[in-house]
């Protein structure tokens, strides 16, 4: 869509407001709105000013002026506003130099795709993400110097089997048995259907929706794979639509990886494939139908996985899901079909076009622009340096004898471990100026000060259960 076509769409749909959106550094969508009369063709070139110092992880107060530059191809009609509103995703620029801003996550993703083309390895990186989430009926939480708590509730929650509901109909999903009984046990069917249809109406290509393993409304809606930047854009729309449909039903959604103890957390299994022209470069005659290039790509992912997790699993809560011996893959190995390996080669189809690598560690708390870009850079490094991942591990990793399991490398066990890995291993991210040193340093500093140390300093409620009577 061109700027002229966007203006024509505004006239056709009688748009009254234009919402300009961009991603902050940690990974939340931000926006401001202008009357449609203030949008013209020059806006797409000149941009609009805003205060960059008020955005987390961005400019200092003495250099706060920045520009949002609307991208016409991202335009869509927001179905949740009372006033007819057209939304567009924006790039961020410095108003003096007109250079793209290094800490704009979308800029990092654009540079990653350009770097891929410059290597000659491939023209396009396709990403597909399976983001899981919980739909709750009530969430309350707080933390003060003298108290801290959280309270979650769901009509589906196993803990509500004995609750007075006038009447309680008894359809409560047992822990780890949510994948996937039909209604009435699945009480989120209509909500997910509306989420799915809203996505389709907004131009997203939805493949399926279903309940996930956990009790209490855990769900998944799958989008068809897209080019890296486009997939990242669509994931922001995806989260926005899911949260706002849930709100219509007086429910709330979280993409927090591990909100419930003793049940499955929410992951975001991420599929990646590279194409050159019309040919998939990961298809071949090797293990699991892979090319030699694909094997090297796996080697790059597994070698750099500890550093990658600083972007793909960027919260302290992420590591409540990534715990050895439980459902999430923490063993850095690869295998066909085997879901206990960090890298899996799906075998649903024999078609070369379906050949891809699935990285199973990521979760939906990540900033997709940064996570997908880091993953692509690890793939490129593996291919360029012919990093072989060794033999595949086709056994059930959870049933391996202790001596065999000890030889399998492990993912970091905490966010600070992942950030330390990123500090030691980030040269591969700097190539092509994709991730600048400033981005890496700011990410580590922000995460350590705002999240790792913030959690370290606070007593955990369960510590009182363990230690109060010492």
Q: Which residues are catalytic?
A: 51, 130, 132, 212, 220, 269, 339, 358, 360
| Cβ-contact 198, 245 below 8 angstroms | yes
Contacts of 362 (CB under 8 A, 6+ apart): 129, 267, 268, 269, 270, 312, 313, 371, 375
**Bridging pattern class, strands 85-93 and 138-144:** unpaired
Q: Are 324 and 260 in contact (CB under 8 A)?
A: no
> Residue 386 to residues 3, 89, 114, 297: CA-CA distances in angstroms?
43, 37, 21, 8
CA torsion through residues 68, 72, 74, 80, sign: positive
226-227 vs 252-254, strand pairing mode:
unpaired
Inter-CA distances, 158 with 19, 173, 251, 358, Å: 41, 6, 18, 31
Q: Are 136 and 154 in contact (CB under 8 A)?
A: yes
Residue 421 and residue 410 in contact, taking contact as beta carbons nearer than 8 Å: no
Tokens of 441: 């340093």
Burial 433-444 (b: 16+ CB within 10 A, else e): ebbbeebbebbb
Report the Cα 252 to chain-centroid distance in Å.
18
d(CA 26, CA 36): 30
Angle of helix 415-424 relative to helix 437-447, nearest 10 degrees, comes to: 160
């Amino acid at each position: 869509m061109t700027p002229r076509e966007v203006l024509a769409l505004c006239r056709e749909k009688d748009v009254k407001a234009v919402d300009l959106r961009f991603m902050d550094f940690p990974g939340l969508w931000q926006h401001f709105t202008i009357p449609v009369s203030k949008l013209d063709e020059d806006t797409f070139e000149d941009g609009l000013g805003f205060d960059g110092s008020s955005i987390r992880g961005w400019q200092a107060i003495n250099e706060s002026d920045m520009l949002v530059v609307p991208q016409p191809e991202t335009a869509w009609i927001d179905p949740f506003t009372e006033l007819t509103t057209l939304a567009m995703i924006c790039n961020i620029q410095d108003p003096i130099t007109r250079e793209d801003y290094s800490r704009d996550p979308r800029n990092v993703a654009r540079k990653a795709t350009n770097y891929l083309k410059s290597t000659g390895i491939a023209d396009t990186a396709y990403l597909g993400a399976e983001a899981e989430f919980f739909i709750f009926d009530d969430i309350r939480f707080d933390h003060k110097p003298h108290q801290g708590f959280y309270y979650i509730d769901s009509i589906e929650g196993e803990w509500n089997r004995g609750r007075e509901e006038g009447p309680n109909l008894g359809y409560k999903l047992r822990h780890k048995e949510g994948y996937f009984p039909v209604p009435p046990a699945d009480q989120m069917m209509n909500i997910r259907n509306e989420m799915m249809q809203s996505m389709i109406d907004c131009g997203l290509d939805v493949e399926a929706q279903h309940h996930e393993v956990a009790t209490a409304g855990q769900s998944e809606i799958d989008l068809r794979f897209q080019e890296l930047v486009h997939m990242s854009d669509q994931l922001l729309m995806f989260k926005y639509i899911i949260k706002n449909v849930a709100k219509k039903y007086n429910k709330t959604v979280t993409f927090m990886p591990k909100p419930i103890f003793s049940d499955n957390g929410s992951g975001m299994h991420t599929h990646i494939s590279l194409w050159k022209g019309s040919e998939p470069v990961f298809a071949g005659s090797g293990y699991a139908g892979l090319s030699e290039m694909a094997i090297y790509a796996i080697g790059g992912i597994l070698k750099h996985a500890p550093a990658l997790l600083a972007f793909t699993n960027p919260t302290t809560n992420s590591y409540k899901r990534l715990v050895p011996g439980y459902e999430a893959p923490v063993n850095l190995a690869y295998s066909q079909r085997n879901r206990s390996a960090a890298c899996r080669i799906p075998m649903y189809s024999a078609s070369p076009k379906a050949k891809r690598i699935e990285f199973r560690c990521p979760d939906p708390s990540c900033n997709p622009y940064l996570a997908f870009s880091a993953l692509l850079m690890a793939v490129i490094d593996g291919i360029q340096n012919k990093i072989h991942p060794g033999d595949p591990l086709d056994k059930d990793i959870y049933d391996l004898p202790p001596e065999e399991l000890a030889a399998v490398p492990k993912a970091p066990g905490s966010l600070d471990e992942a950030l330390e890995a990123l500090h030691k291993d980030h040269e591969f991210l700097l190539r092509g100026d994709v991730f600048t040193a400033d981005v890496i340093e700011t990410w580590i500093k922000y995460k350590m000060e705002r999240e790792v140390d913030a959690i370290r300093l606070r007593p955990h409620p369960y510590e009182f259960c363990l230690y109060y009577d010492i």
